[in-house]
Every structure is written in structure tokens, then in C-alpha cells.
Amino acid sequence: MSLRARIDRLVPPEKRQELGDQLQKFASTALDRHVRLAVTGLSQSGKTVFITSLLDHLLSARDSNGLPFFSLCNEDRLLGVKLLPSQGGQEFPFRESMDQLNASPTQWPASTDKLSSIRLAIRYRPGSKVQRMVSETATLYLDIIDYPGEWLLDLPMLQQNFNSWSQQQYRLMAQEPRQSMAKSWLNGAAELDGEAPADQSQITEFSAQYRGLLQGFRRHEQRLSLLQPGRFILPGNLEGSELLQFFPLVKTNSEASQEGSLYAQLEQRFEDYKQQVVEEFYRNHFCHFDRQVVLIDCLKTLNNGRACFDDMQEAVAGILQSFQYGQSGLLRRLFKPRIDRVLFASTKADHVTANQHHNLEQFLELIIQQARRDIQFEGLETRCMAIASYRATGAAEAEVDGQVLSCLKGFRKQNHEPVVLFPGEVPTALPQDKDWSGQRFRFVDFAPPDLKKVRDTPASHIRMDQAIQYLLGDKLR
């Protein structure tokens, strides 16, 4: 008996059609995939703008030439992109951000003060014939969350206890520029006796002062980044809560502290903060990522100097230790997804001239050196790229003292006045102390571009298409 006849007897032809349809349906849902993208970055590094640009460009990708290096568009396989309502929780304010960018005068989206999420469905034709035999179309769901960058700095606290955290804070405060600002607070804290019974009003007073101190570090001309706990700066819905009432205190003796002593009380608050704030944030939002983009504002460090650079380097290294890295095999994914590809992006590349982009990438490598080595140790692919979510400047040339300089032209962020600027050259090695000079760099903040003029062209961004290709390309084959 031939195979065909045997199959016919087993499954009658009329049934087979139905069965085939069902199989196909099953297989095609198996083809649908989820990618959870971690957009990681300190405050003001450009997360919100990056997410907005990503959504904006993907949503208009089908009918535009705006993403020439995104292979889904190149190969004409993109069928459509749609925003889906977020799965519970606050929705990412995409429309509002777009409205602000399109307002006149144009504005950047406001700094984020709460957590929000968004889901995007990308419908496409699979490129490989094998997959296409299963299904003509497939869908990729992309989940992204946005949050205030300050909160990210809480993550390293998860691996610390009160004592080690306090020691780290005191170490930081023993160095300039923190030292001079913290002097009086440190003097006050030195007189506290950890073993004395806890005095509630004292705790309140010292935590308020500590909070003021952190805010001062942030406003300091070096724009320090390593500020913990993050909620002290941006409390969200925790304003006034007891959870925010603690401060670092170093133990003077090695004996266990008495119940009810100041030290024990602070330690308890620290643990509560860790458990109720940080761990919840981490568990609900930060342990399921597949892909990660780390946004870093290198220009800020160049503008501000050595202390800013060191501080950012330490902050980034601390944060990246909290993520799960490793190859995500199928089995492993079922239990716990892991990040299997990381893109380090130097944002705001439009603040430097195009011939400096490669230098910017090399400088970025300096900042992330240690963190990147750890990640690569896990066998992950990483990449450094200079990007701009939206390109706010144009190229220009000017002659100064007989020399032709490549310049930028744009509009100042604060007042929309036209600016023409030679912003300085990005060094590829860490500058010597004497070279962190005030005259060397001048990266000014630019107002967003008039999006109507550059809409649907590659001129609306810098390398967003290559970033998208790197982060999602292999999931869309």
C-alpha cells in the first residue's frame, strides 16, 4: 500500500484540510515572538526620546525611506506596525511626546517621573522559505518600559547590605567634589551614636538633609550620576513615606546592634526599602529582558570633567551587574529569559560633527570598558554605536583663521536661537587631568528638529536604523 493511501485511511481527506488549518494556526502562533527590550540609561541620557523615536520610525517605516539599513524595510517584508494597549499599568505617553516634538516651537518630551510601558506589534513576512511554508505572516511583539533614570541606580543596592552600602556612600563622600558639599552633614553624622536608642525626629532630620545633599550632587556642575537611593531624588508615589527615611551610617564596633538602636532602625529601613521598593520594581519589570540597549551620554562627561566621567563609569558598571546575561536557548527561555545581545549607544551624536562619530564610539568604549568585559565573558555579542534618536543639527563649514572647520548648526534648546558651533573634537583616549579644560568642548543642547521637514527620510535620525537592525533584525528573519 502506498504511503498516500495509508494516510488516506488514517485521516480522511475532508478531515485533513481542517487538521492542516489547525496545525498551521498552531505553528504560526509558535512563530509569533516576544522581545522585551531593556532601554537602560541614567537620567537625561535620552531614554524617553529613544523610545519615542523607535516607535515613531517603526510606525512609519512601511511607507517611508527613513530606515535604509533596516533589512525588513529593504526587503519589503514589513506588512504593518501597530501600537497595542499596554498590559495593565501606566501607558507610555507616546502621543504626548510626539505632540511635543511637533509643537511649535518644538520641544523635547519632559523628564520622566513614573514608570510606563508600551507594546508594539510588528507584522512581517518571514524571509526564510521554511518559515513561510508554515505561515505567510508572522508577528513580533516588542515590549518596552520607560522609567526615571534615577530609579535605575537602586538596582545595585540589591546586592548590598546596609553596612557595605554605607561604606560605599562614605567612600564617595570622602572624595571631591562631594566632600566639600557634604562636610557639614558628615560632621553631624560623625557625632551620631549608632548604639543609642533611635530618635525618630533625628532620623527624619538627617534623612531630609541627606536627600538635600543628593539633590545638590545632581545639580553640581559636575552633574554626578551615582546617587543612591534613587527615590530620594524622584520619589514617585512614595513622597512622605517612611520608606524614604534613612541615611548611610557606618558601624563603629563589630558587635550586633541592639534592638531599637539607631543603627538597627536604619538597617531595618534600608532592608524595607530594598524589599518593598527595589525588589518589587526589579521583579515586575527588570528580570525578563531579551535585548538591551544601554544609552550613555558621553558628551555630558566631556562637558563636565573627570569626576563626572569616573562617577558615570562606576554607576554604569554597578547597574549592569543587575541584569541577567547569557545565551537564551529555548529551554532556558521558558524558565527565565536572558539578555543575549547588548547595544551600547552613545546618544545625542548629533551634538558632534559627523567626522567625530567614530571617536565618540571609541570614547564610549572607555566608559563601559569594565562592564562590557564582564558581559562579553558571558559570551554575549555587544556593539558600540553613536546614534541620535532625532537629528537636531545640520552640517556646516566655516573658515576660522584660514582654517576650514566642520561645524554644526541648529537651534538652542532654551530659546530656539540659531547656533553655529565648532563643538570640539572627541578624544579617543581618556584626557589627562590638565586637558579637561573648559575651553576644549562645548556641547550645547539643541532644540528638536522640525520633524515635518525631515519626515520619512534618513536625515531625521542618526543610525537609528542600524540600532534597530542590531537589536531586532535577527528576530525578524
Partner 1 sequence: MSGDEKQRQDWQPAIELNPEQLRDLPNTEEAAVEQVDSGEDKKDTDKSEKNAGLSRIFVAISALLVKLIIIVECYRLVSWGYQQHWSLGTLLSLLIVSVLVMAIVLALRALKGMRQLRRRQPLQQRASQMIASNQYKQAAPLLDEMAEQLKGTALVVPLQQCINEVDSVYRDGEVIRFVSNHGFVEADRKAIDKISRCSFDTAALVAVSPFASFDILLAAWRNWRMLNSIADCYGIAPGIAGQWRLLRQVLHNLAFVGLSELAIDNSGTLLTGSVTGQLTARIGQGLGAGLVTARIGLEAVKLCRPLPFDEGNKPKLSQIQSSLLKELKSKF
Ligand X SMILES: Nc1nc2c(ncn2[C@@H]2O[C@H](COP(=O)(O)OP(=O)(O)OP(=O)(O)O)[C@@H](O)[C@H]2O)c(=O)[nH]1
Enumerate binding residues for ligand X (CB under 6 A).
41, 43-49, 108-109, 111-112, 148-149, 347-348, 350-351, 388-390, 392, 413, 445-446
Q: Which is nearer to partner 1, 177 or 473 (by Cβ)?
A: 473
Q: Which is nearer to partner 1, 279 or 425 (by Cβ)?
A: 425
Q: How far is the CB of 466 from ligand X (least distance, A)?
A: 14
Q: How far is the CB of 167 from partner 1 (least distance, A)?
A: 39
Place of cell 528638529: 449
What residues make contact with partner 1 under the rule CB under 8 A? 65, 68-69, 71, 74, 128-130, 354-355, 357-358, 391, 395-400, 404-405, 407, 409, 418-425, 427, 434-435, 437, 439-442, 458-459, 462, 473
Task: Name the DSSP letter for residue 239.
Answer: T
Integer Cα distance of 246 and 204 in angstroms: 8
Query: Which grid cell is 379?
Result: 559570551
Query: Which grid cell is 389?
Result: 534618536
Q: How far is the CB of 348 from Mg ion (least distance, A)?
A: 14
Integer Cα distance of 202 and 194 in angstroms: 12
Q: Which is nearer to partner 1, 34 or 412 (by Cβ)?
A: 412
CA distances in angstroms from 230 to 176, 235, 301, listed in the order given: 21, 8, 20
Select from ligand X, Mg ion, partner 1, none the partner in contact with residue 61, using the beta carbon and a kind-dependent cut-off of 5 to 8 Å. none
Select from ligand X, partner 1, Mg ion, none the partner in contact with residue 45, using the beta carbon and a kind-dependent cut-off of 5 to 8 Å. ligand X
Q: How far is the CB of 109 from Mg ion (least distance, A)?
A: 7
Q: Which is nearer to ligand X, 262 or 467 (by Cβ)?
A: 467
Strand 78-84 and strand 116-124: pairing? antiparallel
Contacts for 266-269 with beta carbons within 8 Å, 24 or more apart?
Answer: 266/162, 266/198, 266/203, 267/162, 267/163, 269/242, 269/243, 269/245
* Axis-axis angle for helices 464-472, 47-59 (nearest 10): 80
Q: Which is nearer to partner 1, 255 or 397 (by Cβ)?
A: 397
Q: Which is nearer to ligand X, 126 or 235 (by Cβ)?
A: 235
Q: How far is the CB of 149 from Mg ion (least distance, A)?
A: 7
Residues 6+ apart with CB under 8 A from 337: 36, 288, 289, 290, 324, 328
Q: Which of 148, 93, 151, 152 is nearest to 118 (CA)?
A: 93
Q: Which is nearer to partner 1, 203 or 421 (by Cβ)?
A: 421
Select from Mg ion, ligand X, partner 1, none the partner in contact with residue 338, using the beta carbon and a kind-dependent cut-off of 5 to 8 Å. none
Q: How far is the CB of 394 from partner 1 (least distance, A)?
A: 8
336 CA to centre of own chain: 21
Q: How far is the CB of 375 from Mg ion (least distance, A)?
A: 24
Select from Mg ion, ligand X, partner 1, none the partner in contact with residue 418, using the beta carbon and a kind-dependent cut-off of 5 to 8 Å. partner 1
Integer Cα distance of 457 and 65 in angstroms: 6
Angle at Cα 314 formed by Cα 249 and Cα 246, nearest 5°? 25
What residues make contact with Mg ion under the rule CB under 5 A? 47-48, 112
